[in-house]
Each structure stands twice: as structure tokens, then as C-alpha cells.
Structure 1
Amino acid sequence: MEDDNEVIEVPEAPPPPPPVDPAVLAEAEAAKDEANKNFKAKHFAAAIEGYSRAIELNPNNAIYYANRAAAHIKLENYGAAVVDAEKATEIDPKYIKGYYRRGDAHFALGKYKLAVKDLRTAAKVAPRDPDLRRKLSECEKEVKRLRFEEALAVPDSEAVSVLETLDLSIYDNIEESYTGPRMQGNAAEGYVLTLEFVTAMLEEFRQQRTIHKRFAFEIIRQAHALFRSLPSLVDVVIPDDKHFTVCGDVHGQFFDLLNIWKINGMPSTDNPYLFNGDFVDRGSFSCEVIFALLAFKLLYPDHLHLTRGNHESKSMNKVYGFDGEVKAKYNGTMVDCFRELFCGLPLAACLNGRVLVLHGGLFSQEGVTLEDIRRIDRFREPPEDGIMCDALWADPSPMPGRTPSKRGVGLSFGSDVTRRFLEANGLELIVRSHEVKEEGYEVEHEGRLITVFSAPNYCDQMGNKGAFVRFNGNDMVPHFTTFAAVPHPDVRPMAYANSYLMGM
């Protein structure tokens, strides 16, 4: 923990670089200006390409690196943003945007102590900057919160299950004023989820109303018990005459989730789905999304599948909005219940023994088998390395082999890694999610790997399409459907997130 009275020294400026041809400088500035236009138009990948071109022409301009760091942050490439921001501060130690960007990236990665250090360094240069002071204050609050939680933490062996000890009787007396849907049964004999209840619940959510806490907790408790019975890798059989749909990140965009079901049909025994993680956070209708998915999982346990994403975790939910949303719409106890529930989610699914579906990607170690994935003890928060971490965080790369992750967590893996993994495990294809794609999907690694992302116009700012992938059991050939965002009520994304993120 940093000393609150730590003296922050601004590094000395390096010696000036050799002069660059004025024509080359002008070309670099033109590339930067074009990148700025793409950034403002929210074409962040194109902006990164433009800033990279400017850097190739003039590698000694701190602004280019800081701007590229900002574009990386928009695409959640926080590791790459840290590297660029560090280069900006190396070139110009008094360029505060370099410290800003690095602080933003560290904060997004949950490295609050490092973020505080960056922001304090920036404050030495610009002590009266109001945005900087706000960010520093928020970051220091997170450091204090972590310190408090660490002081109260108990060993995992002594931790008590909230769901197993939860007394739902305090919610049994349902107020007469409650006009929403009710489950069949009663507290004494047990509650049963029905399609009628789920249909009515979806309509309540459309109208921006919640369901009663008694039924909300019941859904969580029943779903948790179901997940506990499942392996870490679920085998899914798709008959020759049936189809199966895989969706990627939904991220709390409930009205876009409803649109998927409008386009492709509601989940049922004849219309099975797999949702591949990141159900919550960022979008401000995450409660509605997760309750809808859990309810259909309970209705059709063998035909609605859910795999865990990196945002089904304590560290992400605290920062990116889910915790705040649950507390606002229900209560704090439910936050703890969701944490236990998320730790029960399977990590992957294998479709007809031919297609592996997991949220992130492949692994930092060679020789991982499907049996290794089955044996993972997943009932915990995601670790910082290993098979479970990679399954939730890894990304494909155009470069061969294994390289550091642009996110700062997990790794990037090349097409050779994908090919060897598939061949060793008798598989044909990997379907993963985890990354925004402008068309909602992308086919990479010589056709062996698909990324599918199902949150169109992500966070109301990316302008991307959403997509889902449909397989027919007889041939397991992927068929793609893309779709645009639909209107939603006037609640901005990240409405419940940490206020620090509003300035990123």
C-alpha cells in the first residue's frame, strides 16, 4: 500500500531526439489527424491503425502514444494502453495525459494502487485539474475499500455460503401492493417456475419494473443448485434434424436480448441456445438479462446453456455496474448471492464433440485437453493465470505462437496454437466471444476460430452490429445472423458503474 505522504517525483526529460524531416513530420501529423477523426466517429480500431502509422513516421511524439492508449482503452485493450502510456511519459515526463491514460488503464484492470501512483504523478504537474482531482479521489476510495475488505477477509476454508444460509422467510409476506408475476406454489411447499411466470416477468422488465425479491432469490437459489450439478465442460448433443444457436456477450443490453429472441425465436426444447458469458456489467439492464437467462435455464435445463465470462466475477462487477444495479433494484444480500452463482457457471461447452465454445480463448500452456478443462475446480473467483484464467480472458492474435495480452490479463494466441489444440483434441472449430466486432462476428485462424459478440452498439457508443451463430446438427457448419441495436429506455449504459469510468 502506498504511503499517503509518499513524495512523487516527476522524471527528468530525456535528451531531445534527432531532428526529423519536416515532410515526414507533416505526414505523421496527417495520419494523426485522420486517426482523430476515426476516434471521434467511434471507429477505434481504425484510429489505432492511424496512430500506429503516425508513430512509425515519428516515434518521438508523446501525443501519438497517448492518443493510441485512449483508443486501446475504448476497445478494453488495457495492457496495450499501459504500454503506450508508459512510452508517452518516457518521451515527455511532463505530459500529464500519459499518466492519465496509464492511470485509467490500471484502474480498469483493478490495479488501484498503481492507478493512484499515476494520478498523483499527474497531479504534481497539474494540481488544479478538476477531472484529475475527481479521478484521484475515486481511486483513493477504491484503495481504502480494498484495504478494508482485506482486513475483514476470512480464509476460503472458513467462508460460509450465503445461499445455503439465506433465510428467505423474511420475504415470504408478499405485499398486497405487489402486482407483478407470482410463482406457482408457496413458501412451505416450494415454488415452481412456469413459462407463464417467465413470460409475465419479461413484460414486467419491459415496463422497467422488478419482480418481487422472494421470487428473484428463488430463481438464483434454484439456478445455483442446477449449476452445482454440472461439469466445468458441458457436452451438448445436437441431433441431425435439429439446430443450435450460440450468442456472445450481451452485457446488460436487455432490449437487444429480446430482439435476438424476436429474430431467432424464444428459447425452448426445439430452439436451444448457448449464451457465452458476459451477461452483465456495462449495460444498465443487467438484472433483467441475468434473470431472463436464469429463468429459461430453469425451464429448459438441457436446452439453454450458460458459460461463464470474465465479467461474471467479483472484481468486474464492483467496477462495471452490476453490483450497483443489484443494490439499486433489489438489495446488497443479492450481490453476494450472485457472486456464488457466478462461481458455479460452467467454463465451456463442446457441441457434438466437434465445436468448443468458451468465452475467452486458448491456453498459455501447450497440451491442454478437454479432460483438463473438465477437471478444473471452477467454484471460485477467476485466478490471475492458468487454464481457468485463459478460458475467460485470452484473445486470438494474427501473430504466431503465444504473445502478451493486449488486455493485461491472459494471453494472445496465434493460428498455429489453435490448429494444434484442435488436432490434439479431435475438434474442428472454436467459438469464443469477449471482443467487440464491427459486424458482430469475425472468422479467424484459417477458418478454425469464430468470435461472436451479441451486444450491438456496445455501450451506446461503438456503432457495431450484434450477431449470433446457428449450427445444424447434421453438418455443424456455422451460419451467421447480424442485427442492429434497438431502442431502449432512457437509462444510459454504466449508470450504476464506478463514477471514475465516466471520464474514460
Structure 2
Amino acid sequence: MATNTANGAQRESQIRAEALKNEANKLFAEKHYEAAIKQYTEAIEADPTVTAFYTNRALAYIRTESFGLALSDADKAIELNPSFAKAYYRRATANMSMLKFKEAQRDLKTVVKLNPRDPDATQKLDECSKIVRRIEFEKAIANDEVTKSPFDALGDIDAIVVELSYDGPHINDSGIDRDFVVKLMDHFKKEKKLHRKYAYKILKETTDLLRSYKSLVSVSVPENGRLTVCGDTHGQYYDLCHIFELNGLPSPTNAYLFNGDFVDRGSFSIEVIFTLLAWKLVHPDQFHLTRGNHETIDMNKMYGFEGECRAKFNVAAFNAFTELFNAIPIANVINDKIFVVHGGLPSQDNVTLDMIRQIDRFKQPAGNDLMTDLLWADPQPFMGRGRSKRGTGFQFGPDITEDFLKRNGLDLVIRSHEVKEAGYEVAHGGKCVTIFSAPNYCDAVGNLGAYIVITPDLKLKYEQFSAVPHPNIGPMKYSPLRGF
């Protein structure tokens, strides 16, 4: 009798789990990934023995860039069923996204072994193997010699001839002005290129300007005006233009702060970054930039910006961009009260704004330093610090936010770095705000974009917007990870 009761309860749990999974699949198809994750989690709690529940949740984690959690789910699925090819494929995808290519290669070999007639698996293995060989080649030819500035490789910029056939905007003798940028934006909308002479000139002048700043910049909301904080734009040029259409072009009274991750993933990163740099030159005191984790070499090589730069210009331009990205400040403080950073807060206690101000940022993040923390960290609802859901960096709780703000006389943290379905999220008792400005991220997520309008009295207004149409060029066009 007891056995029958137990079997009945187990069957009820299995039926409930299957229903939860079906609801989660529906939410996933509608691109409500966070809600789908919750339903998959309930399904797993009801019946933790079903391999597919873990691989389904792993894919939802991948969509939200929680690659570390996806990896854990794939591991559990493999533990339950070592012959389940999809679990190895999910683990390979998570490892690829975390730039762990040899680990991904091993799993893809297993997928091919389990499904030798699957042409997609064979293709993915070949693509991954090419990346592994490329990385090994680049390591082999690398050296520690001191090299000249990447700008030396661009040659004498002033001597470059602009052909008569070029029909784009020109920089006159007085330099870059508002009229030039407006024409440049329209030129880019028509899918036309900026002449390399002007591209190099913008790169050089902006790098020189950014080098003059500390790693933490004091920003002021214009009197009788406003400051708009935007999050990740990720190469979504037409959505960037839409922000300016909705909120107005930059001006002395309509200031902007773009909080990192300008490039990669979207296939119009060149157009995004040159538009932002040009506005920075026109309004240096009212247009601000923060470095994101995608303004780094490793990410650019894998998520598309290097390939796009080579396709639209050349490798010399990419190397110059690397130097420019190294010069972008790491954080900003608005009116001495609002801390703005791309990722999050430090992994150590007792960090002050002056310590951040003195960071030597003119390099790539080391992976275990204060700069890496600020570029990569994410908030969590739990107290203390925890393991990152991304597989890189760490997470910080509301107590960490409260302590950092109190120690530095601040009221609020604004950060970006994470896609949010509503375009923004207010956490940690209203003390930590995430803002994300790439709607329908990667043409796949279905999220809204958002930005924050801040007035001189430091009141915040959240503005949401939807994605707009763009030319028929999908995300990751220039990335070796395309298709994963």
C-alpha cells in the first residue's frame, strides 16, 4: 500500500514537472527568458531526474548570458545521461561564450562522436578548431618587445588623400563640428563608410582627449538641462539613432553618458563607436564614455568587433581602437552622488573613489584586479559576495552596495552589463540600478531598451523604447562565434 502511495506521488510530481516544462518552453519561445528559467527550475524541483529540463534551462541561461549557470546545468545533464549529445553541445556553447575554446572543442568532438551524421555538429567542431589553431598561432608569434604606438601604423593622417568619389561628410580646417556629426549619422544610416582619413583623425583626437582624464571622471548635470545615462549599445546603430530621435541630439544642455559595451555582437559597431567618438569631440564636457568589458582585446576578437574593423577598415585601425579603448575612463561620478560604472563594485572592502581614480587603466584588465571587478561584476539579491553566474567575475549583494555608497558619500550606483526585459532594473533597495540600451538584443531576446534622464536635482526618469528596423544584416556577422 505504501509503495502504491509513493508511486502515485511520484507520478503526480512527474506530471506537474512536465506541465511546468511545457509552460517554460512557451515562455522561452516568447523570449521571456527569466520567467522561463523560473519555470524550468520548478520543473527540476518537481522531478530532478529529467535530463532535458537541465539542457532547456541551460539554453535559457545562455540567452541571458549566465554562462556559468549554463555550464553547471550541462554538467548535471551529462551526469544524468552521459550519452545525451545536446548536453555536450550546451556545455560547448557556454565554454565558447566564456572564451574557453579547448574545453568547447572537447565537447564538440563528443557531440560528433555521438552523432556522426550531424553536419551542424561537424561544422561547429571545425569552426571551434579553427579558433583554437588561431589562438595558438597568435601566441606563438607574440613577443614582449616594446612596440610603437598603433597610431604610427596609420601613417601621416594629414597626407591621406580623400578621393573625389567620396560622397560622405568632410572635416574642415576648424575641426569636427555638430554639422559634421549630423551628416555622418545620416551617411551611416545609408550603409556608407566614413573615409579612412577622417576615421583615423577621429580615433587619434579622441584618444588624445581621453588620455587626459583620470580613471574616474567627475560629471555634472548641466544647469537648466539634463544628463541622460545609456547602457550597452552593442553595435545596434539604428537603435542608437532612435535614442537621439527620442531624447534629442547632444548639446550643452542635453548631456549624455554612455556606460560601456559600445561594440561587439551587433554588426554596426563601427557606426556606433564613430558616432559616439565624434559627439565626444564636439561636446567634450557634456558627452561622456565609460569603458565596458567589451572594450577589451579578447572580447573584440571573438564577439565581432575585430572582424568588422578589418572588413570596413584594416588591422591597423583595430590596433588603434585597442589603444583608444585603453584610454576610456573606468567610472564616473555624477554631481558627487551617483556612481556610474559598467559592471559593478569591487571584490574587496574599503575601496574609495580616489583608489578608482588612480587605476592604471592603459592596458587590458588582468582578470584579478580592481579594473576587472568594475568591468565585470553583477549585483545579486543575497548578502555578501557570490560566484558569478557568468563564469567570470563575481556578484555583490545589497550590503556591499550599501557599504560602498556610505564609505564614499554616495547615494546610488548605476551600472549596465546585463540585458533586462524591461530595459532596466532597480535593485538593492533602490540603491543599484541596471540600465541596458540595446532593445531586442542580438535580434533574439525581445527586451525593451531604456535610458535614464537625470535632472539637476538628481531626480531620475526611466524611458523605455523598442527596437527599430535595421538593414538585413544579422548580429555577429563578423564574429568567429557566429552560429553558436
Same fold (TM over 0.5): yes
TM interval, short-chain normalised: over 0.9
Question: Which residue of structure 2 lines up, in the alignment, with residue 390 of structure 1?
Answer: 373
Question: Which residue of structure 2 lines up, in the alignment, with residue 5 of structure 1?
Answer: none
Question: Which residue of structure 1 lines up, in the alignment, with residue 191 of structure 2?
Answer: 208
Of 242, 248, 273, the residue aligned with 1:259 is 242
Residue 117 of structure 1 aligns to which amino acid in structure 2?
R
The offset of 1:67, in angstroms, is: 0.9
Q: Does 1:184 align with 2:184?
A: no
Q: Note closer, same or farther for the CA distance 1:481–1:350 as it changes in structure 2 (3 Å cut).
A: same
Of 19, 27, 31, the residue aligned with 1:38 is 27
Instruction: Write out per-residue CA displacement over residues 305-324 of structure 1, whole angstroms, 9 at most, x where no aligned residue.
Output: 00011111111111211112
Alpha-carbon separation, structure 1, partners of 2:219 and 2:99: 35
Alpha-carbon separation, structure 2, partners of 1:363 and 1:122: 39
Q: Does 1:173 align with 2:161?
A: yes
Question: Which residue of structure 2 lines up, in the alignment, with residue 6 of structure 1?
Answer: none
Alpha-carbon separation, structure 1, partners of 2:223 and 2:411: 17
The offset of 1:402, in angstroms, is: 0.6
Of 295, 308, 313, the residue aligned with 2:296 is 313
CA contact (8 A) 1:168 1:214 kept: no
Instruction: Write out per-residue CA displacement over residues 385-417 of structure 1, whole angstroms, 9 at most, x where no aligned residue.
Output: 221111111111111111100001111111111
Residue 356 of structure 2 aligns to which amino acid in structure 1?
I
Question: Which residue of structure 1 lines up, in the alignment, with residue 85 of structure 2?
Answer: 96
Q: Secondary structure at the match of 2:254?
A: coil
Alpha-carbon separation, structure 1, partners of 2:165 and 2:109: 52
Of 241, 252, 259, the residue aligned with 1:276 is 259
Question: Which residue of structure 1 lines up, in the alignment, with residue 455 of structure 2?
Answer: 472
Question: Which residue of structure 2 lines up, in the alignment, with residue 114 of structure 1?
Answer: 103
Alpha-carbon separation, structure 2, partners of 1:22 and 1:467: 45
Alpha-carbon separation, structure 2, partners of 1:476 and 1:418: 19
Residue 493 of structure 1 aligns to which amino acid in structure 2?
P
Q: Does 1:196 align with 2:184?
A: no
Residue 98 of structure 2 aligns to which amino acid in structure 1?
L
Instruction: Write out per-residue CA displacement over residues 346-392 of structure 1, whole angstroms, 9 at most, x where no aligned residue.
Output: 11000111000000001211111111211211111222222111111
Question: Which residue of structure 2 lines up, in the alignment, with residue 10 of structure 1?
Answer: none
Q: Note closer, same or farther for the CA distance 1:112–1:192 as it changes in structure 2 (3 Å cut).
A: same
The offset of 1:92, in angstroms, is: 0.8
Q: Does 1:28 align with 2:17?
A: yes
Q: Secondary structure at the match of 1:482?
A: strand
Question: Which residue of structure 1 lines up, in the alignment, with residue 476 of structure 2?
Answer: 494
CA RMSD of aligned residues (A): 1.6
Alignment of 1:138-153 (within 5 A): 138-153=127-142
TM-score between both structures, scaled by the size of structure 1: 0.92
Alpha-carbon separation, structure 2, partners of 1:230 and 1:360: 20
List alignment gaps of at least 5 residues for structure 1. Answer: 1-17, 186-190
List alignment gaps of at least 5 residues for structure 2. Answer: 1-5
Alpha-carbon separation, structure 1, partners of 2:430 and 2:358: 28
Q: Note closer, same or farther for the CA distance 1:239–1:254 as it changes in structure 2 (3 Å cut).
A: closer
Of 189, 194, 201, the residue aligned with 1:218 is 201
Alpha-carbon separation, structure 2, partners of 1:169 and 1:239: 35
Alpha-carbon separation, structure 2, partners of 1:72 and 1:378: 31
Question: Which residue of structure 2 lines up, in the alignment, with residue 334 of structure 1?
Answer: 317
Of 235, 239, 257, the residue aligned with 2:218 is 235
Question: Which residue of structure 1 lines up, in the alignment, with residue 49 of structure 2?
Answer: 60
CA contact (8 A) 1:234 1:348 kept: yes
The offset of 1:193, in angstroms, is: 1.2
Alpha-carbon separation, structure 2, partners of 1:494 and 1:183: 31
Q: Note closer, same or farther for the CA distance 1:363–1:395 as it changes in structure 2 (3 Å cut).
A: same
Of 132, 137, 154, the residue aligned with 2:121 is 132
CA contact (8 A) 2:153 2:316 kept: no
Question: Which residue of structure 1 lines up, in the alignment, with residue 72 of structure 2?
Answer: 83
Q: Secondary structure at the match of 1:488?
A: coil
Question: Which residue of structure 1 lines up, in the alignment, with residue 3 of structure 2?
Answer: none
Question: Which residue of structure 2 lines up, in the alignment, with residue 485 of structure 1?
Answer: 467
Alpha-carbon separation, structure 2, partners of 1:98 and 1:82: 9
Question: Which residue of structure 1 lines up, in the alignment, with residue 361 of structure 2?
Answer: 378
Number of aligned positions between the proteins: 478
The offset of 1:127, in angstroms, is: 2.4
TM-score between both structures, scaled by the size of structure 2: 0.96
The offset of 1:207, in angstroms, is: 0.8
Q: Secondary structure at the match of 1:200?
A: helix
Residue 358 of structure 2 aligns to which amino acid in structure 1?
R
Q: Secondary structure at the match of 2:272?
A: helix
Q: Note closer, same or farther for the CA distance 1:113–1:213 as it changes in structure 2 (3 Å cut).
A: same
Question: Which residue of structure 1 lines up, in the alignment, with residue 305 of structure 2?
Answer: 322
Q: Secondary structure at the match of 1:463?
A: coil
CA contact (8 A) 2:233 2:240 kept: yes
Question: Which residue of structure 2 lines up, in the alignment, with residue 349 of structure 1?
Answer: 332
CA contact (8 A) 2:344 2:373 kept: yes
Alignment of 1:390-429 (within 5 A): 390-429=373-412
The offset of 1:62, in angstroms, is: 1.4
The offset of 1:164, in angstroms, is: 4.0
